[in-house]
Chain A
Amino acid sequence: MTGTGAATRPGTPLGRLVAAELIKARGTRAVWLLAAGAVLFAVAWAVVNVLVLLPMAGSGDPGRQVRDSYSMAQQGYPFALLLGIVVTAGEYRHRTITWAFLVTPRRGPVLTARLAACAVLGLIAGGAAAVAASAVTAPLLHLAGRPMTAPGLPWVLFGSVLGTGLWAALGAALGALVRSQAAATAIAFLWFFYAEWFLVMLLPSVGRWVPTGVAKAVSGWSRDGMVGFDGRPIPGALLPPVAAGLVFAGYVLAAALAARLTVLRRDVT
């Protein structure tokens, strides 16, 4: 050792931070389990959709039904959301955030890199879910005597993958904002499974703007945004996919900005 510092490794600072986050995520079992959960959940929904939901829906626009069937690829979103929470709030839980801020004392880039890494992980999980769910959906549709493809299907799959990436990034932003893994998970659970649903029941027109509504719209979901207590869709058309994607990204950025301006400025004790 010389005490003059080790040699420099090439790469942009933000790119290096994203790569470091991906290395940490790859070495964390919970991340693998949640990604696998997203894939399995999407496959399960694909099976349930073709075998149960489609027969219940009866006759309708065949192309729309096929697209909706393939959009089940995004149904693993709760796992993607949890993945993001685990990656960011887990840093506080295990106090490894200290190492991150020692290497990169400017905290904004650390958060940006973490969001980007979670988006990448979500995209990978979403991609795997799209492949696996499609591999199940196509033969089941064929066996059910329905068409296996429909116009606009690539966009549905692209939207499902993108939506899963955005869910993971939203989880990362939420985890950064709340810091407690348990609290962030509880907040997400209460919001997405109760509060959001209750809100849309009271104000159906809000359904197109809530995170679940925009996420479904990103994946090309053609039904209404939310399913009510009776199992029927609540009236209120969803946003167009591109607009929904922008709104979803806006939610991620708003949560991340709130974390940057508040929590991230606090002392690390």
Chain B
Amino acid sequence: MPTITVTSLSKSYGRVHAVQDLSFTVRPGRVTGLLGPNGAGKSTTLRAILGLVKPGSGAALIGGHRYADLPDPPRTVGAVLEATDFHPGRTVRTHLRALCVAGGLPPGRIGRVLAEVGLDHAADRRAGGLSLGMRRRLALASALLGDPPVLVLDEPANGLDPQGIHWLRTTLRELAGQGRTVLLSTHLLAEAEQGADDLVIVDGGRLVAAGTVAELVGARAGLEQAYLDLLGEGR
């Protein structure tokens, strides 16, 4: 299973330094959380990994390759970005079918991934009529179409109700348990503490700390205290 390696990654938008000299590794078989406050550079980092944003310097590689150089992207990486990235007039099935055809994936995958995310009853509904939670599930179904060994998810729990968050956490744990490499960004401490094995904490585009949840918490009362201490706000 591929490893995600981010090395000295920097990215600026004009005078705003979104990511600065960021380095970390995401290992297979584990859920790694990219944790930080809003504006910490999490989404930019994920988009650089996915080839959507061109790094100013440094590299973001998947299995040693830039995303654009992957021989078969949909079978290598599944990504979940915004929950609103669907054409409101297209049905769930049409959206997935177009991805299948473009990626050269067998159409039989559509039924399987819809069943996996619990959306099989909504296959013929238009995306514009789906709830936020259902869109999150559709996004995950889209990511799983190619049965990829790597998953990259940007704030996947945003907008989900408690049952949805529980479902997501369980699903991602199962996927990592199958040996996949799972990287998710979040600013929710509870999600990071309960859903991730490893954490990469960023702030202001820079690496603050990285390690297992247990290592980062150490002797402190919990991740919240550790997080605030690491960001220098715990005093």
Contacts and interface: CB of A to CB of B under 8 A. Distances in A.
Interface in A96-137: 96, 98-106
Interface in B174-221: 175, 178-180
A33 B72 CA distance: 36
Interface string B64-98: 00011010111111010110111111110011011
B52 A96 contact: no
A105 B67 contact: yes
A27 B127 CA distance: 11
B74 A103 contact: yes
Interface of A: 1-11, 13, 16-17, 19-21, 23-24, 26-30, 90, 94-96, 98-106, 267-269
Contact of B73 (A1, A90, A95, A102): A102
7 contacts: A24-B98, A27-B91, A30-B89, A98-B82, A99-B85, A102-B74, A269-B44
Contacts of B145: 6
B90 A3 contact: no
Contacts of A96: 85-87
Nearest to A95: B85
Closest 6 pairs between A and B when the two form their complex, measured CB to CB: A5-B75, A27-B94, A20-B102, A268-B52, A105-B68, A20-B101
B68 A103 contact: no
B40 to A, nearest CB: 15
A6 B105 contact: yes
A21 B99 CA distance: 10
Given A98-B52, A105-B51, A268-B52, A24 B146 contact: no
Given A19-B101, A98-B82, A103-B99, A9 B147 contact: no
Nearest to B85: A95
Interface in B106-123: 106-107, 109, 116
Contacts of B44: 269
A11 B53 CA distance: 29
**Which DSSP category, helix, strand, loop or mixed, fits chain A's interface?**
loop
Contact of A94 (B88, B103, B104, B148): B88
A9 B106 contact: yes
Given A9-B106, A103-B74, A94 B87 contact: yes
A6 B75 contact: yes
A10 B87 CA distance: 27
A253 to B, nearest CB: 23
A99 B142 contact: yes
Contact of A24 (B13, B94, B106): B94
Contacts of A106: 68
A49 B179 CA distance: 69
Contact of B82 (A1, A6, A95): A95
B90 A27 contact: yes
A16 B74 CA distance: 14
Given A17-B102, A24-B98, A268 B146 contact: no
Contact of A27 (B51, B72, B73, B89): B89
A3 B95 CA distance: 22
Contacts of A1: 116, 144, 147, 175, 178
Contacts of B172: none
B54 interface: yes
B76 A7 contact: no
Contacts of A20: 98-99, 101-102
A26 B103 CA distance: 18
B17 interface: no
Nearest to A27: B94
A100 B51 CA distance: 12
Interface string B13-36: 100000000000000000000000
Contact of A267 (B52, B86, B89, B179): B52
B125 interface: no
Nearest to A7: B106
B97 to A, nearest CB: 6
A14 to B, nearest CB: 10
B60 to A, nearest CB: 13
Contacts of B103: 16, 103-104
Contacts of B88: 94
Nearest to A267: B53
B100 interface: yes
A24 B90 contact: yes
Contacts of B179: 3
Given A103-B103, A268-B52, A24 B72 contact: no
Interface in B36-59: 44, 47, 50-54
